Amino acid sequence: MTETNYNYVDGEWVAAGTGETFAVHNPADRSDVVGEFQKAGTADAEAAVEAADEASQMWADTPGPERGRILRAAGQNLADRKGELTETLVREEGKARPEAAGEVQRAIDIFGYYAAKASDVGGTVKASSSDNTRLYTVNEPVGVAGLITPWNYPIAIPAWKIAPALATGNTIVFKPASQAPGVSRKLVECLDEAGLPDGVLNYVTGPGSEVGETFSTHEAVDAVSFTGSSAVGDTVGRQANETGKRVQLEMGGKNPTIVMPSADVDEAVDIVVSGAFGVTGQACTATSRAIVHEDVYDEFVEGAVAAAEAVEVGPGLDGAEMGPQVSESELDSTLEYVDIGVNEGATLETGGDEIDAGDGFFVEPAVFSHVDPTMRIAQEEIFGPVLAVIPVSGYEEAVEVANGVRYGLSASIVTQDLSEANRFVEDSESGVVKVNEKTTGLELHVPFGGMKDSSSETYREQGDAGIDFYTISKTVYMNY
């Protein structure tokens, strides 16, 4: 029997007032129904906001160490249920099991990190220029935070938004993506079981046009943090700005890795292919473009083709290296871009065909060579396992190509030339810059965010930057 999952509002698991639900299917086996979820409407979202608003002062007044204790207990609950969470993530989103387990572990680590940080949320003391005066700052929570998260990292991204928001004393209304809401529901369960007070965290599933828009526009919501596509992010940002909210947007990417002549080509291939085809290319930081110096271009393409053809594609629960795309629409989009690349004149070296591997949305990882930087496959975010390999004649041209897109999220260079490495750090128009590493993969204690159309360029996420977004500073002059 299919499990029916409920919204979590004011400390209670409740059905949507609409009386409607929607089914989530396993993208590796469409006959496998992961669960039924509430198709909430505007009234349900408003009820969640009202609960968060009502609990706001109580949670803000809760001492930081006590908030940290609850986060620490929630992290332990996640750890105790890691196997269950991993399987849920694989079933509803499609990741390979090791990838899913790594994402769950990241959520566990994030809660541990911000549990410790909760005791340090205070302020700073400064020397006053006047006698008999204490000058200091106090960091206070912003209030009610509206969190809207994507399907591609359905527990890690909610964790890195929820944990700092709670650590700093904010209450939350949270809408996960409808393609993969189950693992984040279990995250909410872990917080509930850890003793989180009623109303502090509210979880509502349903369409963005009603639930998301309510969270973005309601007068009682003070801050909105969104991760997802640029098109939706632009709408969320406009709605939130019109109502004077603090806004944090992280959106798409078209991430390059530059490969220079000094690179070990085999190592470069491993770095690029891992970044391009890991998590089925469904990461905002995925390597979409390999910008390769002509001196090593042919050797690199040969290696990339061999590596792509060696990737085992299939259901994550069966031990495959690369799982399915999350939905039929995502698969269709990838296949369409493969056709676009061929029609534009790029050479499809390998892959790009739909795979008959059970009743799922599987596609072969694709490698294109002889890609011109102006082609659509070199300019537009594909969000699937498609790699465009672009030849260049030198460092300056490589950087020009790397920066020549509307996005600026993550970028890397593979080189043994220290001068090139340092120049690239300065020259790259991206929020994350890596040397001799893949564009994917993030440390949780340093800021994360993009530039240009990849981000609102307002606040960063993770590390101390996560604290900054959810707090506002009050300066105190104490004359005694």
CATH class (in words) of the domain with range 255-435:
alpha beta
Active-site option among 103, 250, 364, 461: 250
Could you tell me if 145 and 171 are in contact, meaning their C-beta atoms sit under 8 angstroms apart? yes
Averaged pLDDT, 93-100: 97
Span 407-429, pLDDT tens digits: 999 999 999 999 999 999 999 99
CATH 3.40.309.10-classified regions of the chain: 255-435
Task: Give me the pLDDT at residue 196, please.
Answer: 98
Task: Give me the pLDDT at residue 447, please.
Answer: 96
Instruction: Check if CATH label 3.40.605.10 holds for domain 7-251+455-479.
Output: yes
Give yes or no: 420 in active site.
Answer: no
Averaged pLDDT, 132-159: 97
pLDDT tier at 261, thresholds 50, 70, 90: very high
Task: Give me the pLDDT at residue 364, please.
Answer: 98
Averaged pLDDT, 235-262: 96
Tokens of 423: 């120049």
Span 454-475, pLDDT tens digits: 999 999 999 999 999 999 999 9
CATH 3.40.605.10-classified regions of the chain: 7-251+455-479
Task: Give me the pLDDT at residue 281, please.
Answer: 98
Task: Give me the pLDDT at residue 358, please.
Answer: 73
Characterize the bridge pairing of strands 133-141 and 125-126: antiparallel
pLDDT at 338 over 80: yes
Q: Phi and psi for 94 in degrees, rounded to 5?
A: 105, -5
Averaged pLDDT, 350-361: 91
pLDDT at 356 over 90: no
Averaged pLDDT, 330-352: 98
What mean pLDDT value characterizes the chain? 97
What gap in Å lies between CA 280 and CA 351, rounded to an integer?
A: 13
Span 6-64, pLDDT tens digits: 999 999 999 999 999 999 999 999 999 999 999 999 999 999 999 999 999 999 999 99
pLDDT tier at 132, thresholds 50, 70, 90: very high
Span 159-183, pLDDT tens digits: 999 999 999 999 999 999 999 999 9
pLDDT at 1 over 80: no
pLDDT at 278 over 80: yes
Could you tell me if 36 and 22 are in contact, meaning their C-beta atoms sit under 8 angstroms apart? yes
What gap in Å lies between CA 378 and CA 255, rounded to an integer?
A: 10
% residues pLDDT > 90 (the chain): 98
Averaged pLDDT, 319-327: 96
Nearest to 367 by CA among 328, 448, 329, 310: 310
Nearest to 357 by CA among 302, 280, 286, 303: 280
pLDDT at 122 over 90: no
pLDDT at 2 over 90: no
